Amino acid sequence: MSTTLPPQFEVIDRPLDTQMTISFGPQHPSTHGVLRLELILDGEMLVKATPDIGYLHTGMEKLFEYKKWQQGIVITDRMDYLNPLGNNLAYVMAVEKLLGIEIPERAQTIRVLMCELQRIASHLVWLGTHALDIGAMTVFFYCFREREKILNLIEAASGGRLTPSYFRIGGLMMDLPAGFERRCKQFTDDFLAALQEFHTLLTGNKIFQRRTQGIGYISAEDAIDWGLTGPSLRGSGVEIDVRRTNPYTSYETYDFEIPTEQSGDVWGRYMVRMREMKESHKISVQALSRLKPGSIKADAPKVVLPDREAMKTHMDALIHHFLIVAEGFDVPAGEIYHPIEGSKGELGCYIKSNGGPKPARVHFRGPSFVNLSALPLMAEGEMVADVVAIIGSIDIVLGEIDR
Amino acid sequence: MSKEIEQGQASAEAEAATDNSNTPSPLVAALQRQNPEWVGEVIEAFNEVTVIVPRAKVVEVCSFLKTAPGLEFNMLADLCGVDRGPEEEPRFEVNYHLFSTTKYHRMRLKVLLNDEDTHVETVTTVWRTANWHERETFDLMGIIFDGHPDLRRILLPEDWEGHALRKDFPLRGYEPYSLT
């Protein structure tokens, strides 16, 4: 520990020469789902941690191969259930690349707006649960209050709160409802004050600082070698963000910064996410100001469902509607790996198509999966109570790890 | 330093353009210059470069790509297996998606495997992140990574039979699986 403690609280960190194996999880609330860790302890010191995953494995990648291209979107919602719009985007954009479809500007702007709102919502869940794990209960209620506002916005746009399936191949499910911009603006106007509240609750909190600073260190070289991405990598001082390195949906035209911290510990990853929420807010404000009336669906009648009104009045629209729903559409043969910046790191979608209405293989590179594999490196040598702080700091979602 | 690399890449590009009508990317040109045996087929589509690498050379190629100046693929973004179907020959593909945190470029390596011999050498010696990716590929696709430090099932239970992502594995499994 960096600071000296009063003698009655001194940490005894010499080995006790007796080892104990305990099973941490899968029902432990601090494992954020159904993660099991096999911990070998020497007194309170962690000697070895072995993550045991797969409790939530539902064979989603197998399921993709039996579903039509457009049916795959609803499966992606259920992977990283805190960032469903990001998953939608990775899948949908990969298919669009294979099809060679261009998306209208309004649809792109709405995608950026919704993804950034979703990123804030995902970070809010992380912040609330991370603080709860460490012992600060109040933060959780404040975070969920703000998250509720975002979920209401997503519900207004798509009809779903946790499983929106809002992005479709070739555009969006439907346009934003009337009054959405006003409600969204109200949220963005209020959010910075709320963010300041979170800082007041946690950032200056001495207990929180002691629990996080210098804990769970990972160096930049190790982080890259272990494939860490997202805030976990940027917390070690590596300025990598897919939105900047391989821009998509015109992110290159938005003005935002990539926050990094040099410390490489739980505190560094905490600060990166806190600052990232501010950047996401900045992007949402820009996207909101760019919203102009226009089409939200690409001009690809064989792929994109026609408008309801057109379907009722035009013969060809009806035929296309019937064919898309009944038989699906063919995607040209080829393979693609499309990475996006999810809320937890690089979310990659690998798709292989042999032509035909169903994919030959869909694979998701879940950032949580890769970030969790580096957990033993960060946790070994720490106290057992710090393991929950480290798990919280890498922000895992088991739905994405087990798929 | 970076200017030199850019010039090097540009000259490699120019070189390749003179002797080949369809220009290979500088990444492929660099590989070919180092060892022509490493590069099997090259596929360029959707702004992505795919190089099919002979199975025996995959670790050599990966180490070269990781360390060579101007390439610096220091991160393995993803590794996944593909089953083309039981009647296809070669049946399996292993895809390595590489990324460089300094140059920001990406590239895909592909290794083809036959049904009878699904062995390929592990790349955990090059990037440690390959550990879980390879375990997952072994678990779901049945590809064996020789030299892997801990090649156990990762998502499915230890006593699971078969490999669930193979095309001949039925969607609902062979029989109701019980955890008892």
pLDDT digits (tens, 9 = 90+) for A187-225: 999 999 999 989 988 898 888 888 888 888 999 999 999
What is the pLDDT of chain A when averaged over all its residues? 89
Cβ–Cβ of B46/A54 closer than 8 Å?
no
- Asked if residue A236 and residue A195 are part of one domain, the reply reads yes
Residue B12 lies in a domain: yes
Q: How far is B169 from chain A (nearest CA, A)?
A: 10
The CATH number of residue B40's host domain is: 3.30.460.80
A54·B157 Cβ contact <8 A: yes
List the single range of A55-59, A249-253, A343-347, B33-37 with lowest mean pLDDT: B33-37
Task: Using the structure block, give the residue that is written with the tokens 């078969």.
Answer: B162
Residue type, A226: W
What's the total number of domains in chain B? 1
Instruction: Identify the pLDDT of residue A17.
Output: 65
The number of beta carbons lying within 10 Å of the beta carbon of residue A102 is: 11
CB contact under 8 A, B78 and A337: yes
- CATH assignment at residue A207: 1.10.645.10
What is the distance between the alpha carbons of residues A67 and B129, in angstroms, rounded to a whole number?
A: 31
A101 and A48 within one domain: no
Give B84's contacts in chain A (Cβ within 8 Å): 360
pLDDT of residue A356: 86
Least confident among B41-50, B93-102, B142-151: B41-50
- pLDDT in the model for residue B180: 53
**B26 within domain boundaries:** yes
Quickly state the pLDDT bin for B19 (edges 50, 70, 90): very low
A245 located within any domain: yes
**Gap between the Cα atoms of A275 and A45, Å rounded:** 32
Residue B4 Cα, gap to closest chain A Cα (Å)? 21
- Can you tell me which residue has the tokens 């960060």? A378
Q: Determine the pLDDT at residue B13.
A: 44
* Residue B162: inside a domain: no
CA distance B77 to chain A (A): 6
Confidence of residue B24 (pLDDT cuts 50, 70, 90): low
**Tens digits of per-residue pLDDT, A266-296?**
999 999 999 999 999 999 999 999 988 988 8
CB-CB neighbours of A347 under 10 Å:
29
User: What's the number of domains chain A is made of?
Assistant: 2
Is the residue at B86 inside a domain? yes
Distance from the Cα of A203 to chain B's closest Cα (Å) equals 30
In this prediction, the answer to ipTM > 0.90 reads no
Query: Does residue A2 lie in a domain region?
Result: no
* A190 & A46 share domain: no
The domain containing residue B117 runs over which residues?
Answer: 2-126
- Measured between CA atoms, how close is B164 to chain A, in angstroms? 8
Using only C-alpha atoms, chain A has a radius of gyration, in whole angstroms, of 22
- All residues at 6 or more sequence positions from B47 whose CB lies less than 8 Å from its CB, including other chains: none
Spatial separation of the C-alpha atoms in residues B148 and B146, rounded to whole Å: 6
Q: Are residues A45 and A67 in the same domain?
A: no
- Residue range B18-45: mean pLDDT, rounded: 73
Q: What is the pLDDT of residues A74-84, one digit of tens each?
A: 999 998 889 99
Q: What is the pLDDT of residues A385-401, one digit of tens each?
A: 888 889 989 888 888 89
Strands B119-121 and B106-113: unpaired
**pLDDT reading at A323 higher than 60:** yes
Task: Give CA–CA dist B71/A232, Å, rounded.
Answer: 24
Is A224 part of a structural domain of the chain? yes
Chain A: residue nearest B150 by CA? A50
Burial (CB count <10 Å: 0-12, 13-18, 19+), residue A33: buried
Q: What is the pLDDT of residue A3?
A: 62
Identity of the residue in B48, B77, B165 whose CB atom sits nearest the CB atom of A62: B165
Answer whether residue B6 shows pLDDT above 60: no
- Contact assignment for A337 to B127 by CB distance below 8 Å: no
pLDDT at position B39: 81
Task: Give the whole-angstrom CA distance, residue B118 versus residue B179.
Answer: 29
| Separation in Å, CA of B98 to nearest CA in chain A | 10
Residues of A in contact with B78 (CB under 8 A): 337, 348, 350, 363, 365
Note whether B127 contacts A227, CB cutoff 8 Å. yes
Whether B76 and A227 lie within 8 Å, measured CB to CB? yes
**Residue B76 · residue A369 · CB < 8 Å:** no
Kindly determine whether residue A98 and residue B132, on different chains, have CB atoms separated by under 8 Å: no
Taking the model in full, what pTM does it have?
0.88
Band of pLDDT at residue A336, cut at 50, 70 and 90: very high
Section B72-85 average pLDDT = 90
Contact residues on chain A for B74, CB-CB shorter than 8 A = 224-225
Identify whether residues A131 and A18 lie together within a single domain.
no
| Locus of tokens 């540009």 | B10
- Whether A189 maps to a domain, the answer reads yes
Asked if residue B134 belongs to a domain, the reply is: no
Chain A residue numbers with beta carbons less than 8 Å from the beta carbon of B44 are none
Domain co-membership, A28 together with A103: no
pLDDT at residue B12 tops 60:
no
Q: Are A25 and A165 contained in the same domain?
A: no
Q: How many CB pairs under 8 A join A and B?
A: 90
What domain range is A35 assigned to? 7-52
Whether B101 and A97 lie within 8 Å, measured CB to CB: no
Of A208-217, A226-235, B171-180, the one with minimum mean pLDDT is B171-180
Specify if B170 maps to a domain. Answer: no
Structure confidence at residue B116 (pLDDT): 86
Residue B109 lies in a domain: yes
Which residue out of B99, B105, B158 would a mutagenesis test of the A interface target, given it has the greatest number of A Cβ atoms within 10 Å?
Answer: B99
Establish if B90 belongs to a structural domain: yes
In chain B, whose CA is at the least distance from the CA of A35? B155
Confidence (pLDDT) at B14: 44
| Cα separation, B152 vs B145, whole angstroms | 11
Residue B20 pLDDT > 60, yes or no?
Answer: no
Q: For position B7, what pLDDT does the model report?
A: 47
Q: Do A62 and B171 touch (CB under 8 A)?
A: yes
Rounded average pLDDT over B55-60: 88
Percent of chain A with pLDDT over 90: 47
In a domain, A343, yes or no: yes
- Asked if residue A30 and residue A100 are part of one domain, the reply reads no
